[in-house]
Structure formats: structure tokens, C-alpha cells
Structure 1
Amino acid sequence: MNSSVRLKWEFKNEEAVSGSSNIVAASRNQLLDLIEGDILTSHYQPIFSAKSCSAFGYEALLRSRNGEVLDNIPDLFERAKQAKIIASLDMKCRENAIKEAALLGLSNTQASLFINICPESILDPTHSVGVTDSLAEEWGVAKERIILEITENGAIHNYKLFQETINYYRKAGYRIAIDDFGAGYGGLKMLSMIEPEFVKIDRHFISNIDKAMVKYTLVDSIATACHRMGIKVIAEGVETEDELNIVLDMGIELIQGFLLSRPSASLDYGPSAVTFLDSKRVPASDKYSPAMDFIGDVAIRVGSINSDTSIKNALNMFIDDSCLKSLPIVDRERLVGMLYRSRFIEDQVVGKFGYGVHLNSHKNIGHVMETAFLSVDDNTTIEDVAHMVQRRKPDFMYDDICVTKNGKYFGLVSVSSLLDAITGKSIILAKGANPLTGLPGNEAIQREIEKKIAHNIHFDVVYVDINWFKPYNDYYGFERGDFVIKSLAKILSDTMESYMNDGLDFVGHIGGDDFIFIARPQAALQAAERVVRDFESMQPVFHGAVDYSRGFYTAKNRKDEDEIFRLLTVSIGIVSTEVHSIDSYAQLASRAVEVKSASKKQSSEKGRSAIVRDRRLM
């Protein structure tokens, strides 16, 4: 939470009676008035992505609705803690953050909402589970877009309960950030315990980082460690161009600070921030787009008009071009509104009683344009845009999609063009997909791994192989063998769904009974253990009651001799780029041979499933 915010909040004779119960009671009553009255509100400060040059998210910051200044917000929360109403104050701030962001149009952006929460509030006996869920649902903010910032300033006395609560939020779909990292008591312990998706480096370390070698070294170490763990780093409090240059050179891509934008009561930010960041951006040469992966690839530049254009001139444009379905309204390169042919003519030209053109002829487009429209950045994937289109109301389902680039108008995409792009991409992917399981095949696997290597992200590659599958296939038949293969594919896909927030984001089918998935180093082993449990739980189905109860079956081996075979299990080998400097797919594949062989050997010797993580790590 930003301690630089000022708010007058006076407690009479504080110094004289700070130890008495009267002042605590007085403070509690004043705080309750503050919480229950219509005094507190939220302002929003953008967190910019240096890669997309747009707002990745907005941090909700506490403000006073009447414009006065609360003097020292951390002290306000400390008083609330002493008065035993910390949870009430924290929840009021949370409610304001979600409600007001929704009213400002957060859902019309691609940005996430960062909300500060106090560890003391989470551990408070009055903390209510489920309130945040209800607020998100009531105001239409997807939980996946809410990032809960846990401040590191306070001491945590019950780590077990704290971790259980964080796990609850994460399972519900929220993402977690550690705020003010490095400023408090137990940063490294908290980092290792909750494994957040984001770490915000405290502005103390960012301030004058270009002049202080100690700060530079510390921030560089934190950023390197986080990147290796797949954690996104946010540099907060960036106030000078030199500070920005340093953090960008460190590979920190999420930036927050007065240099780019101050907190405000809206979600708008000046074009200067976008232009400034764009001037710092290094073109990404490693973007994969064999088909049209991004919405910008299919956008068409449709001529625009400005908000001062008369309704008559806009109508003539639609009349002159029967194929024109939409008109973007652009002022100073920024998209400010849209005209959609059918609704414009029906509502503004014809009007409710047929007199629309007479009533509106003197007006400019700025008075009648639609300001609620779907607008996305050009590097948004076509799949993400398709999901947004599906969530639109029926009357707006087929409206053209607006595309911006670096905050400026870029073009439009019709829904039919979007469907064509998705279909084309699906065909390309399907050509490389395994026909039995439908999972991505070797080409897609290689592409995914090379993409992660290029982004310098540490990840684990987990190879999964079925033990004693060939004799099973020969004995039980190909149909049962195919069933086993598809069952393992489903187990892996279900595991990916469960561990999506932990960075398990890809499952592939190498061929036969060989599979692969990719996960963050912290999640790989746990996910692998789940695969083993789920696969072995299906042994009665795979083998039938009789063979399962015996624990083996007898079949012909390759020499046509009777041989006792064990029940199906899996061998899992994990190769970690956290251990080895992997520069290419070929290098990783070479390392995988060793690990897979060790896993197979262990399964054979012990007669059960085995998981072997890179032996040099153990």
C-alpha cells in the first residue's frame, strides 16, 4: 500500500492518552464512522507492460471521496488492528476497489485488478471467507483477473493458517502477488511458502537504482531468482527515465510509477506513457505465429472519423458504402467511440417515431456514438478475443471488434474474420495433433519448448511413459490399449486444468504411450505425483477385477513363451531448466534421454510407478 498518500485523520490528545482504553474506544468509533460512511473510495494506478506498451493491470489505492487527505495510511490500518476491526476496514477497501473498477469499465479492458490485502486481516477471527467471491460475481469481475497483493511489511504469526487461506483464494481462481517485497520481516519465507504469481519490488530499492550499486545488485538478484521460478516481477515507484532503463535491462517487464502515470479516479492514462514505453521497446523477434495467432494479424484498417463529424456526414458514409458495417471514432489517434450501421440508422436516423434525422441533424457524432464496445490490444490471442465475444450480450454478439496498438487505433475485425482465423489455426494445429488423443504432437511440443527457452523462463519438462504397455496391448487387445492411451491423455489434461495457476500450461502427445507436460519447477513434482495416483487408481478398469486382485497377468512374451507381467504403471522423468542452462530443444531432448532411462530402470527394479527428477538436482 502506498504510504506516500496523505489523509488528515486526527485523534485528540493522542500523545497524552495513547495507552488508555478511552483513546482506543474513540479511535474505534471514528474508524467505524469512516468504514460505514460514504467517505472512502479507490483511485487506480496503471501497471504497464513494457512488452505490449499498455496497462497490464491497475492497483487500487485508498483515497478519501471528499478530496481530503488521510495522513499516513499504514497508521490508519495499525489503528484498525488495535481496535480489532482490521478485517472490516480491509474488506471495505476491497469492496470499493472491485465495485468502482467495474463501474469505470474494467471489463472493457484486458487489464487485471490488483487489490491490497493485509495478512493481519486474513488471520483476523472476523475475516469472512467468500465475501470477495460474492463481490466479484456481483460486479461482473472475473476472479482470474483479480490479483491479491499481500503486503510483506507485517509479521505473520500463524503461517499455517495464512497459507491455508492463500491456498483457498488461489483455488478459487485468484492470483497472488507479494507487495513491497524486501521491505518487511519475512519476504523470502513468504516467497517460498506461497509461491506467488507476481512479486512487487518495494520502491525503496527502485529509487536511485541507477546510482546505488547495492540496490542494483539486490534487485538484479531478486529479479533473476523470480524469473527462474516463473514469477513475474513488478518494479514499483519508477520515477525517472534512468530507473526505467535499469529495470528494463534486468528483464523486468511490468512497471509502475509516477514516471508513466499517477493514480487517478479513472482507468484512463495519457498517450505519453504509451509513446514513451514504445520508444524503449525492443521488437520481439521470437513471436510464434505460423497461423494468425494474434488479433492484430487479422485486423483491417477501416477509415475513421472524429467526434466532431456531423451525423449527416456519417450517414452519407454508410449510404455511399453498403459494405461498411462500422465506423470507428478516433480523436488524436485514440479510439473514443463506435458507430454500428444498423443501430445508428435505427436509433439516430430513423428514431423511435421516425423523426430521428430531424431531431439529431444538428448534432455531432460525439453526442450519439457508442462508448461501450469491445476493444483489445493487437497482441491479444484470437482465442482470448473469441472468449470475450462469447460473453457479449446477444444484441452485440456480431459487432465488429476494435483493435488498438500501443493505445492507438489500429483496425477492426469482423466476427466472421475471427471465426475464419480460429478455424484456420485449428486446422494447422490439427494436422500436427495426435489422431487418437487430439493432443498437440511433436511439432507443437518443440515450438512450445523453444518459445519458453527464448523467453528465458525456467520450467520443468515432464516426460510420462506407460510401463509394460506392449504386452498389455498384445494381451488385452488394441481397443483396450487405445482406451488406456486416451485415459492417460485425459488424466494429464485434467491435471493441467487443476494446476493452470501454477504454470502447468501445456500437455503434448509425443506418440504411442509417450506424453509430455510443461510446468513451473515448483509445481512439476506435485503434478507428477497426481498423475501417478490417478493412473494407478484406474488399474481395476484397465485389467479387470481378477487380474487386478492377483496383481499380475500371464501372457506371451516376444519369444512366444508364457511370462508374468505386472500391472500397468507409469515412469516419469523430469528435466529442469532450473538446474541446467538449456539453450535449445535438441539439448533438452538429449538431457531427457538420461532421465527417462533412469525412471524406466527404477520402475523395472521396484515394480511400480517411478518419478525421477534430474539426478544432478537430487
Structure 2
Amino acid sequence: MSRNSTTDRASGLIQPDSRFPSTGTADEIGDRASAHWRAIQAAVSVCLQPVISIHSGRCVGFETVLSGYERLGYASASGLLDAAHGLGALPDLEHLILDRALSLFCGGPDHPEQKLFLNIDTRSLSDARALAARITRYLQQYGLNTVNLVIEVAERHPIADLSQIAPALTLLRQAAGGIGLDNFGAGYSGLPLLYSAQPDYIKIDRFFIANAEVDTRKRAFLTHIVNLAHLLGVQVIAEGVDSDREYMLCRDSGCDLVQGFAISPPLSSLTDATPLHDGVRALNAQDRRNRGSDIKLVSAQIEVIPPLPDTASLDDAFERLRTGSTTFLPVVSALGEPLGLLREKDLKAYVYSPFGKDLLSNKVYGRGPRHFLWPCPTAEVSARAEKILEIFSSDEESEGIILTEDGRYAGFLSARSLLRILNEKNLAVARDQNPLTKLPGNAVINDHLTEALADRGAAYTIAYIDFDFFKPFNDSYGFRQGDRAITLYADILRKDLPRDLCFIGHVGGDDFFASIRHSDCAEAVKMIRHTLDRFCDEVESFYDEESRRRGYILGKDRDGKDVRLPLLRASAGVLHITSGQSVESIDEVSGIFARLKKQAKASPSGMAVAMLGPVTREEAACCPEADPSESV
């Protein structure tokens, strides 16, 4: 089907495209058009792909996936949609998809508590009123609530006038329970559409997920998009997640929901679908890290303000605000999902105007809590305290932050409560912090190492780093210069290792610790090598000009004889632990590092690498610093 075909407006039938002869009488053309439309109806079908909570594995809903287009000769679903648009039949095709998707969705045993995510082409928004009316009729026909449907807007085509998007989406939001943006970050409108649409969900394009575990810039983009979404009170769906490593990356980046072949393929029947997806639960079980180390601190400060249902009347809201102790109310959907805040100050203009309150209370006027919602930042209750603060502090007008548990309203955290949490955490961290470098000390390092060794769901590259020829340097230049060298390397580790995947600590003296999660061995070794080389270059400035020129300093051995002592450098023993590898204890790792440390100091490169777990020749070849014979 091509874009230059036409539609017979009188009959409402699709005219044949360039694949079908257009010659003949009007009746003959109409017959072929009818046959063409019947072929589309017979060929097009839908499947539903589970959308899973990344926190618990609960099946939140299903994404509508169009299939059968290949039987019509199209290479992709977008090809069929483009052709339908060219024929003027895009609304008819979307009508067909909606009907079949709802029919399949209602076959699931838990569909009253779930959502159907349905993609709508932006070109259909030109007649949003008719589309909204059609959606309302179908929801009534299938006995569903508006909360069961999320309309996703695709960014495949340019939007000429973004100012027209908001009214169209307002109409659709009244018919459906939520609005989503599909393929966010890879479409035409991007951030302007995010601003205009005020969505409830954004679906991160796979581009930002693929290979992000080894691409620092992609991880940075992913993390910032998630933070921006949460600041706006928007949930984030990671789409196209095809491996366990990608799943772990999306979870660590703060995504709320996930879908992809690593979780489940599209389903043609929901009779076997369960509320909890075993695959996600298994992945979460593999990761035994203490991700919830701040949960106790946060839970102790949560203020559980009873939420206001979005279906409540404004009279109920006025009464709650009059008798309650807060100047705002969290508003939730029928499924308990936070929608935003209803603030007293936003209603004052009506309350203090003549007949304003009576007008709002009038059911004919049709205003409810949803019409006065103020976006509020959200965070999962299991998030780190620093992450919650980062989201909260980005919004100067925020009353606080809404906390969720598995995507549902759990309570509210005020600015004062958040400060208490951070104060308690900072006190705990300060007890073990190295006073010179302000890096975590031995107790925190041991806790991290214990958690890393128990986390079989991810690969880790762990490095033990210390200085070579540090004593001669200290003896010649004094302990103050020695302290400067230590803080120099600490700063290099902070700046050059990725914060989102790396833990660094200061064992004491000139000994450091670094751990990189979800790492490719070769990439991690490259990062560590960079810190060693940078330190070697920069620490030369601590020597006098003559020593720098010679490349060594003069000292005395135990017998008092003059000896040449090399300039200061750092060496690293590096251990790569493959995903799924079981480690007995920290003592086992300590024994490996004792051997690697000696090898590193004796090596011209200042580095020795070993791999723990089954390693193929190809994997060993990807890490040239590692000796395959040293795999343990």
C-alpha cells in the first residue's frame, strides 16, 4: 500500500494502492477496495507483551504488538500504518487494532488490575474527539475502567504544531487512564513533546539501553532521562530489554517498568499470565546486594497522608483540607498510583470568589481533582537517600516527594524529613570515612565486597591498588607531599571511574580499592589502567626538576650505599569475577589479591589481572592484560 492512494469518502472503503490495478469501472475499483480491506482484516492480528514492575516482578499490564502485516507484504508494522494513512484509513485500522487488543486483554485473569498500553499514531490526533469517543465506547463494551487503558503516542512523525497536542491529549486523558510517550529520545519532538504532553509514562528507546553497560555516555543519558521523568512524576518503561545484563542496568538506572524478550515475548493468549513474573523474580533473587540499605531510615520518616481518589468530589477535598493538618492532598488512581498533588492554594481563587466554591461543587460543571493536579516528584521507597534528594532538590516549588512501593502510593516525604534521613546517614558514613581522602574505609569496603561476592547476577571487576616506591618518596619529600600524592590518586579515582557503576574506597595509607559492576573485563581494565597512567604523569610534578629529568631519586640502602630509586607509581592487582560465579569468602579473594599484588609490582606495566570463573579463549583475548593461565 502506498501513500498516494485515495479513499472513497462516500463508501468509506479503502481504494487499492499501487499494487492493485486502478483501472476499470467505479464498481470494479470499489470491489477491489472491499477485497483489499477484507484482506487487511483477515491478516492483521495483535499480541500482548507483558510490562513488568522492575521492583517486584508484578505484571502491571501489556503492550499491544501489531502482527500479521508481513502477510500483506509489509516489512514492518510502521509500513502498514504509513500505507493506511496514505489511504486515509488510519483511523479504521487503529479502530480494528483497539477492538482486537481489548478482546485479547480481557481474556487475562487479572485484567481488572492491569493496564493495556495502546500505541496511537500522532497523525490520528487531528481528530482526537472522535478517537476519544471511540475509546469510551469500547471500554464500556468490554466492561473496563478508564484506568485500564494507557494511550501511547508515537514520535515517528513530525508534529507541526505542538500547541495543538495538549488539547488533543486532554481529550484522550479523559477517555483513558493515562498518557505515554513511546520511543522517547529517538523521535521527532523529544523534550518539547514531553513538556506539552505531560505524560504519565515515557518509554525509553532501546538505543539508550543497547550496550549501555560498556558505554558511559549512554548510561549517563539513561540516568538523566530517568531522573528528569521522576522529577515530573512520570514513570519510566525500559523497552526492548533483551538480556539479563540490560535488565540489571535498567534497574540500577532507576527505571520503574520493563519489557522485552529477556522478560517475555509477546503473547497470543493471556490464560497463563500470572501477576508475578518468575523471570524477574529470579533476576532479583540473584542480586543479593543490600539495595534497601536506606529503607529503614526512609520508612521511619514517611508521613502517610491518606490519599484522595481521583474520582472523589471537590466537596470531599475541601472538607479534607479544612479538617486536616496539611495544605495539600496526594491524589491517586483507582489502582493506587500517584497522580500528583491537589494543593489548597490552587483552589483559593475559586474559594474566595463569588459563587466559586458552589461552581466547583456543581456536578454539571464537571470539575474534579484531576483538573487541579500539581505534578509532584516521585521516588521508589527502596531508592537510595541521595537519589531521593537529587530528585527533590531539582524542583524548587516542590512540597516534598511522593514515595511509591512497587509503583503504588506509599506516603509522603517532606523536606524536613529528608534532611533528617540524610543527617543520620551522613553521621553513619563519617564514622568509617578516611579523614584524608573522605573515601569509605575498611568497614564499608568489606560490606561492599561481601555484597558483590553474593551478587551472582552481575560481573564485577575488583582492583586493589597501592603505590610503589612510596617510602623513598616520603623520606625525601616529607609526609605532607606523601599526603598530597594520596589525595591526588583519590581525586583521579573519583573523576575517572563511572559513579553509577563503580565503588571506590581507601583501605588506608597508600592502599585503595575499586569495584566496577556490570563490567566487561577489557573495558574495566582499561579504566584502571587509565588511572594508573594519569597518576604516574601527574605525580611527577611533586618532584624537583633534577629528579624529573633523571627519572629517579637518589637514596641510601640499608648498608648506607647510594642507590637509584624509581619515581612514584601506582600498581594494581585486578580480579574479574564472571556473572554467576560463586565465591566462598572474602578470605579466598584476599589470597588471590596477595598473589596479584606481588605480580603487579614486578610487572613493567604495574598491573596483574586474573579471571575468576569459566573463561573462554575469546574472553581472555578481549582482555590483553590477563594471562589465560592465571584464570582461577
TM-score range, shorter chain: 0.5 to 0.7
Tell me the percent identity: 21
Residues 274, 491 of structure 1: alpha-carbon distance in 2 compared, 3 angstrom cutoff = farther
1:467 to partner: Cα distance: 0.5
Are 2:291 and 2:382, in contact at CA under 8 Å, matched by a contact in 1?
Answer: no
1:447 to partner: Cα distance: 1.8
Residues 58-97 of structure 1 correspond to what in structure 2 (within 5 A)? Answer: 72-74=74-76, 93=156
Residue 360 of structure 2: aligned partner = 360
CA distance in 1, matches of 2:560, 2:60: 63
The answer to whether structure 1 residue 610 and structure 2 residue 614 are counterparts is: no
Residue 320 of structure 2: aligned partner = 317
CA distance in 1, matches of 2:485, 2:427: 26
The answer to whether structure 1 residue 376 and structure 2 residue 379 are counterparts is: yes
Within the candidate set 318, 334, 337, 1:335 is matched to 337
1:348 to partner: Cα distance: 4.1
1:301 to partner: Cα distance: 2.0
1:534 to partner: Cα distance: 0.8
Are 2:505 and 2:514, in contact at CA under 8 Å, matched by a contact in 1?
Answer: yes
Q: Secondary structure at the match of 2:459?
A: coil
Residue 437 of structure 1: aligned partner = 437
Larger mean Cα displacement after TM superposition, 131-140 or 361-370:
131-140
Superposed CA offset, 1:75-129 (max 9, x none) = 8779x9xxxxxxxxxx973878xx99x9889xxxxx998849xxxxxxxxxxxxx
Superposed CA offset, 1:7-49 (max 9, x none) = x99752489xxxxxxxxxxxxxxxxxxxxxxxxxxx9977424
Residues 383, 528 of structure 1: alpha-carbon distance in 2 compared, 3 angstrom cutoff = same
Are 2:51 and 2:258, in contact at CA under 8 Å, matched by a contact in 1?
Answer: no
Residues 459, 389 of structure 1: alpha-carbon distance in 2 compared, 3 angstrom cutoff = same
Residues 534, 582 of structure 1: alpha-carbon distance in 2 compared, 3 angstrom cutoff = same
Are 2:468 and 2:571, in contact at CA under 8 Å, matched by a contact in 1?
Answer: yes
The answer to whether structure 1 residue 598 and structure 2 residue 602 are counterparts is: no
Within the candidate set 52, 56, 79, 1:52 is matched to 56
1:448 to partner: Cα distance: 1.9
Are 1:598 and 1:612, in contact at CA under 8 Å, matched by a contact in 2?
Answer: no
What one-letter code is carried by the residue in structure 2 that aligns with 1:514? D
CA distance in 2, matches of 1:420, 1:555: 53
Q: Secondary structure at the match of 2:411?
A: strand
Are 2:182 and 2:205, in contact at CA under 8 Å, matched by a contact in 1?
Answer: yes
1:561 to partner: Cα distance: 5.3
What one-letter code is carried by the residue in structure 2 that aligns with 1:446? N
Residues 355, 561 of structure 1: alpha-carbon distance in 2 compared, 3 angstrom cutoff = farther
Residue 349 of structure 1: aligned partner = 351
Residue 504 of structure 2: aligned partner = 507
CA distance in 2, matches of 1:308, 1:391: 30
What one-letter code is carried by the residue in structure 1 that aligns with 2:563? E
Residue 198 of structure 2: aligned partner = none
Residues 61, 279 of structure 1: alpha-carbon distance in 2 compared, 3 angstrom cutoff = closer
Residue 449 of structure 1: aligned partner = 449
Superposed CA offset, 1:167-189 (max 9, x none) = 797487359xxxxxxxxxxxxxx
Are 2:465 and 2:512, in contact at CA under 8 Å, matched by a contact in 1?
Answer: yes
Q: Secondary structure at the match of 2:76?
A: helix
What one-letter code is carried by the residue in structure 1 that aligns with 2:414? S
CA distance in 1, matches of 2:296, 2:72: 47
1:462 to partner: Cα distance: 1.1
CA distance in 2, matches of 1:486, 1:556: 27
CA distance in 2, matches of 1:274, 1:596: 50
The answer to whether structure 1 residue 478 and structure 2 residue 479 are counterparts is: yes
Q: Secondary structure at the match of 1:509?
A: strand
Residues 200, 446 of structure 1: alpha-carbon distance in 2 compared, 3 angstrom cutoff = same
TM-score between both structures, scaled by the size of structure 2: 0.58
Superposed CA offset, 1:430-475 (max 9, x none) = 2212111111112222222222232312211011111111121121
CA distance in 2, matches of 1:94, 1:48: 28
Structure 1 alignment gaps of length 5 or more: 1-7, 16-42, 64-68, 81-90, 106-110, 117-130, 153-162, 176-196, 202-221, 239-251, 262-271
Residues 57, 610 of structure 1: alpha-carbon distance in 2 compared, 3 angstrom cutoff = farther
Are 1:333 and 1:409, in contact at CA under 8 Å, matched by a contact in 2?
Answer: no
Residue 544 of structure 1: aligned partner = 544
What one-letter code is carried by the residue in structure 2 that aligns with 1:391? S
Residues 280, 572 of structure 1: alpha-carbon distance in 2 compared, 3 angstrom cutoff = closer
Residue 128 of structure 1: aligned partner = none
CA distance in 2, matches of 1:510, 1:440: 8
Residues 59, 412 of structure 1: alpha-carbon distance in 2 compared, 3 angstrom cutoff = same
Larger mean Cα displacement after TM superposition, 508-517 or 296-305:
296-305
Q: Secondary structure at the match of 1:93?
A: coil
Residues 260, 341 of structure 1: alpha-carbon distance in 2 compared, 3 angstrom cutoff = farther
Query: Which has the greater radius of gyration?
Result: 2
Q: Secondary structure at the match of 2:446?
A: helix
CA distance in 2, matches of 1:198, 1:309: 34
Superposed CA offset, 1:359-392 (max 9, x none) = 3233574354416322333223222222222222
1:336 to partner: Cα distance: 5.0
Residue 535 of structure 1: aligned partner = 535
Equivalences, count? 453
Are 1:462 and 1:524, in contact at CA under 8 Å, matched by a contact in 2?
Answer: no
Are 2:208 and 2:218, in contact at CA under 8 Å, matched by a contact in 1?
Answer: no
The answer to whether structure 1 residue 422 and structure 2 residue 422 are counterparts is: yes
Residue 563 of structure 1: aligned partner = 563
CA distance in 2, matches of 1:76, 1:313: 46
Are 2:204 and 2:239, in contact at CA under 8 Å, matched by a contact in 1?
Answer: no
Residue 490 of structure 1: aligned partner = 491
Structure 2 alignment gaps of length 5 or more: 1-13, 22-46, 83-153, 171-178, 196-201, 224-237, 612-626
What one-letter code is carried by the residue in structure 1 that aligns with 2:318? L
Are 2:401 and 2:412, in contact at CA under 8 Å, matched by a contact in 1?
Answer: yes
1:418 to partner: Cα distance: 1.6
The answer to whether structure 1 residue 173 and structure 2 residue 221 are counterparts is: yes
Q: Secondary structure at the match of 1:538?
A: helix
Residues 532, 430 of structure 1: alpha-carbon distance in 2 compared, 3 angstrom cutoff = same
Residues 469, 70 of structure 1: alpha-carbon distance in 2 compared, 3 angstrom cutoff = farther
1:52 to partner: Cα distance: 3.3
What one-letter code is carried by the residue in structure 2 that aligns with 1:311? L
Residues 136-215 of structure 1 correspond to what in structure 2 (within 5 A)? Answer: 136=190, 138-139=192-193, 146-149=204-207, 170=218, 173=221, 200-201=241-242
Residues 317, 581 of structure 1: alpha-carbon distance in 2 compared, 3 angstrom cutoff = closer
What one-letter code is carried by the residue in structure 2 that aligns with 1:381? R
CA distance in 2, matches of 1:60, 1:427: 49
Larger mean Cα displacement after TM superposition, 310-319 or 273-282:
273-282
CA distance in 1, matches of 2:505, 2:377: 33
CA distance in 2, matches of 1:549, 1:12: 78
Residue 121 of structure 2: aligned partner = none
What one-letter code is carried by the residue in structure 2 that aligns with 1:415? A
CA distance in 1, matches of 2:443, 2:269: 41
The answer to whether structure 1 residue 465 and structure 2 residue 466 are counterparts is: yes
Residue 402 of structure 1: aligned partner = 402
Q: Secondary structure at the match of 2:18?
A: coil
